Structure 1
C-alpha cells in the first residue's frame, strides 16, 4: 500500500520546498480507473464537433490560467519564466489546431473496393489511454498526448513526474473548468508499483511514455506483454551539422539557442555539433564566445536566459558525464564546474575533441553541455550524425537549401530535421523518432490515430 507515502516538490532555483502531496491508495486508484471508464463510455458517443468544441474551450481556459500555470512550471522545474509562457501558448495552439482539424482527420472515409462494392473506414475510440510523462515540459507533454486522445474519443489518465505534481493537478482543474466531463481526464498521484498495475488493468487500452530509452524498454515490455498498443517518445543525442557553405552567424545563433533552451533539458535539443573542417575553427570561436555570454540565474528574472537544472541528481549525473568525457580525451572550452550556492545550477559548458567512447559522443547529456565534433566533409558529417543509437531529431546549416533538403530526406536517420533553424515542436508536423528514440508519432494528425480502432465496414457487391 502507498497510503502514508508523500511527494514533496522542490524549487530547483533555491532548493526550498514548494508543496507536499499524498499518494492515493490502491482502492482510490481503482475507483479512478472505473470512473474514467464510465466517463469514456459516454464520451465516445459524442460527435466529433462536440469534442472539438470542448477541446477548443480547454485551449482558451489554458490562456486564462497563463500567469498561474507559467509561474508554477518555472517554480517546479526551473525554466525561464518567458519560456514557460511560450509553453502555455504552444499548449493553447495544440488545442486550437486539434479542434480545427480533428473532425476532418477522424471523419469516416468512404472507399470503392478493388473487387467491387463499397466500404467505410471509421476511426473508433478504444478506451482509456494511460500516459507517463516527464518534467521538462510540464504542461506541453501532457497536452500533446491528452488532447488528441480526447479528440479521438478516449479517456485519459496521467502519471506525471513527481517534481511537477502541482502542474499536473492544475491542468486537471483547467480541463474540468473548460467543461470536459468529470473523470474523463485524471492526474494520478501514484507510485511506480501502482503504475505497473495500471498497465495490467483491463480498462487500459493504450500506454504512452515520454522518457529515457531505459524507461521506454521497461514500459514497452510491460505494455506489450499485455498486448496493448504503446507509443514511446524517448531520449536522443541530436546532431546539428554545419556545412562549409553555412551562414556561420546564423548557425551559431540557432545552435546556442538549441543547446540552452529549456535549460538544455530537452529530448530534441541540439546536443552534438558536427562541423566540417573548413569552418570548424571559425564556428568554434564564435560559438564558445556566445555560450560564455549566456546569462544564467533566477528563472523568474527576465534578464536571464537560463535557469537551474530541475533536480540535484540530474546535475550530478550531467557533471559525471562531463568528467568521464574529459578523462577519455575531451577538452573543456568553457564551464564544466558545478556552481556554488543555492539551487541546482550548472554552467553553460562546451566540450571539444569529442570522440566515440566518451559520454559526450555516445550518450544523451540532458543539460547545458555542447559537444563539438570535427568532420572532414559533408559525407563524413552525415556519417557522424547517424553514428548514434538515437534518432529523434537533428539539424543542417547550409545556404544551399536544396542540398540540405536532400540530405535531410535521403540520409538523416531521424524522425525530425530542422534546416537552418532550431525547433521544438509544431502541432502541424509529426513528432517522434526512430532507433532508441522510440516509435509512434504525435502531432500533425498522426497522434489522433495512434490510439483508435481503424475499423473496416464492408458492404457486398
Structure 2
C-alpha cells in the first residue's frame, strides 16, 4: 500500500498490506482484550483517554505534518484537527462516565427497575481520508469509554496516519490488542464486516459506499452507523448580514480544501441581496492562495488525489453547459489528470438538474442559487437526496430558529454560522446522508446494549 503526496506526486512510503489469513488470530486477541476492558472501572477508561489527549498534543506537529503530506490539507488545518482529537478525548474522559451510568426508573411497587449500558463488543471503524484523525477519534473515543474494542480500516491513501493512530494508543498505555489497524483495500472491507467477532460497524464516506456497507452489515444483522455525503444548503435571506454570511459561508465552503461532507455547498440567496452576496463571495474566493500546503501563506492545497480534481472539473463544466454562470475559478480541462489542484470556483445561477445542485461537490466549488422567497429557499434546500447539514442567515433570530428547527431537512442546522461537529451535540444525517449519530451521549450509546433490568424482591 503506497502513500503519495498529492502536492508533488512523490511517493512518501510503502506499507505491507494486512494478510487476511491472519484475521481470525487478530480478532481472537482483540476479543479477549475487549472482554477484559469491559470489566475495567470507568475511571481507568478516563485515565486512558486523558493519556491519549496528552500524547496527541505532544506529537501534534508530527501528526499534522504527516496528514498534510498524505492528503494535502494545509498544515494549519491539520494542526487544528489534531487538537480537536485531543479535545474529544478530554470531553469523554470528563463526561463519559455519567453517560454510561445506570439509570433508575421511579417506582412505588417495591420492584427495582433500571437501564444499564453494556458494551457491544468490537466495533469496526471504516474511515475516510479527508479528516484522517478526527473521523477516527470521534468514533474511537466514545467506543472505548463504553467498553468496546475498535478495529480500524482506514482509507488506502492515508496508511501512515492510520498506523500513527495505533501508535498514539499504544504509547498512551492502551491495553494490547484493544485497538488495531488493518491495512486492506476497500473491497476487502466485507471480509471484516462479515467476521463473527466483529459486532458493529461505523462508516464515514460516500453514499454509494455506505449503501454497500449497510447491505453487508444487514446480511449479518449487525448494527451500523453511517455518516455519508452531503450537499448542505445555506439560506441567505433578504434581511441577512451579508458580510457575516460571506465570511461564514466562504470559511465553510473552503474548509479542508473544500473536501468536507458537512461543508456549505449550495447557497440559496434571496434575489434582493443576490448581487451583493455574489460579488463579495467571489472576491473572497479570488483572494485565496493555492500552493504548498506546508507553507503558512497557503490557503488552499491540492485535493487528495488527481482523480478528485478530474471529477470536480467534469461537474463544473457540465453545470456551465447547462446554464450555470462561471463567476470565478475553473475550468481546468478534465484531461489534466495528473494535477490534484482545483481553483476556488463560484458558479452562479445554478438550478436543479445541474451537477452543481444535484450532486455533492467535493472540492472548492460553490453553487449559488437565486431565490425569490423564503418558501422557495426552503423548498430548494430540501430538494436534495442529502440531509446532513444546513444553515440560515437572517437578522430575525426567531425566524431563523424556526426555519432551522422545523423546516430544514437535515441532521445539523445552524443560524448565522456554519455547521461544525461538537462533542456536546449529536452529529449525523438523514436521507442519503446516513443514519445513527456520533458524539455526545447519543453517539456513545450507539454502540452499547441498552439493557432493561427488573429486580423483584
TM-score (ref. length: structure 2): 0.97
**Pairing 1:254–2:248 present:** yes
1:293 equivalent among 267, 287, 291:
287
1:352 aligned to 2:367?
A: no
Unaligned runs of 5+ in 2: none
User: Which residue, 427, 441, 445 being the options, matches 1:431?
Assistant: 427
- In structure 1, the residue matched to 2:396 is 400
- Of 389, 407, 413, the residue aligned with 1:411 is 407
Q: For 2:428 and 2:291, how far apart are their aligned partners in 1?
A: 32
1:102 paired residue number: 96
- Where do residues 33-52 of structure 1 align in structure 2 (5 Å cutoff)? 33-52=27-46
Within 5 Å, give how 1:237-252 maps onto structure 2. Answer: 237-252=231-246
RMSD: 1.4
Q: Which residue of 1 aligns with 2:456?
A: 460
Secondary structure at 1:394's aligned position in 2?
strand
Instruction: Please give the residue correspondences for 1:218-367 in structure 2 after superposition, counting only pairs within 5 Å.
Output: 218-338=212-332, 343-367=339-363
Deviations 1:411-459 (A, max 9, x none): 0110001211123211111110100000000111211100111111102
Residue aligning to 1:3:
none
* Cα separation, 2, equivalents of 1:113 and 1:26: 52
How far is the alpha carbon of 1:193 from its aligned partner? 4.2
Distance 2:18 2:158 in 1: 17
Q: Which of 165, 172, 190 is residue 178 of structure 1 equivalent to?
A: 172
8 A contact 1:14–1:342 mirrored in 2? no
The CA distance in 2 between the partners of 1:296 and 1:430, in whole Å, is 34
1:338·1:345 contact (CA, 8 Å) conserved in 2?
no
Provide Cα deviations, 1:369-426, integer angstroms capped at 9, x if missing partner: 0000011111111111111110000111111112111111110110001211123211
Q: 2: distance between equivalents of 1:213 and 1:116?
A: 50
Residue 78 of structure 2 corresponds to residue 87 of structure 1: no
SS of the counterpart of 1:79? Answer: coil
1:61/1:274 CA distance change after superposition, 3 Å: same
Any unmatched runs of 5+ in structure 1? 1-6
Distance in 2 between residues matched to 1:109 and 1:422, nearest whole Å = 35
Residue 113 of structure 1 deviates from its aligned partner by 4.1
Tell me if structure 2 keeps the 8 A contact 1:87–1:137: yes
Are the aligned partners of 2:231 and 2:360 in contact in 1 as well (CA < 8 Å)?
yes
Q: 1:191 & 1:252 partners in 2: Cα distance?
A: 40
Pairwise CA distance, 1:114: 7.8
Question: Which residue number in structure 1 is paired with residue 50 of structure 2?
Answer: 56
How far off is 1:115 after superposition? 6.7
Question: Mean alpha-carbon deviation: is it higher for 132-141 or for 438-447?
Answer: 438-447
Q: Distance in 1 between matches of 2:159 and 2:434?
A: 25
**Superposition map of 1:117-132 within 5 A:** 117-132=111-126
- Measured after TM superposition, the shift of residue 192 of structure 1 is 3.3
Following superposition of structure 1 onto structure 2, how do residues 438-453 of structure 1 map, counting pairs within 5 Å? 438-453=434-449
**SS of 1:40 mapped into structure 2:** helix
Residues of 2 paired with 1:116 and 1:378: CA distance?
Answer: 56
Paired positions, count: 455
Relative to structure 1, the CA distance from residue 342 to residue 328 in structure 2 (aligned partners, 3 Å threshold; closer, same or farther) is closer
SS at match of 1:260: helix
Decide which of 72, 77, 84 is 2:71's aligned counterpart: 77
Equivalent runs, 1:16-31 vs 2, <5 Å: 16-31=10-25
| Mean Cα deviation higher: 16-25 or 258-267 | 16-25
Rounded Cα–Cα distance in structure 2 between residues aligned with 1:114 and 1:238: 49
Asked whether the 8 Å contact 2:122–2:199 carries over to 1, the reply is yes
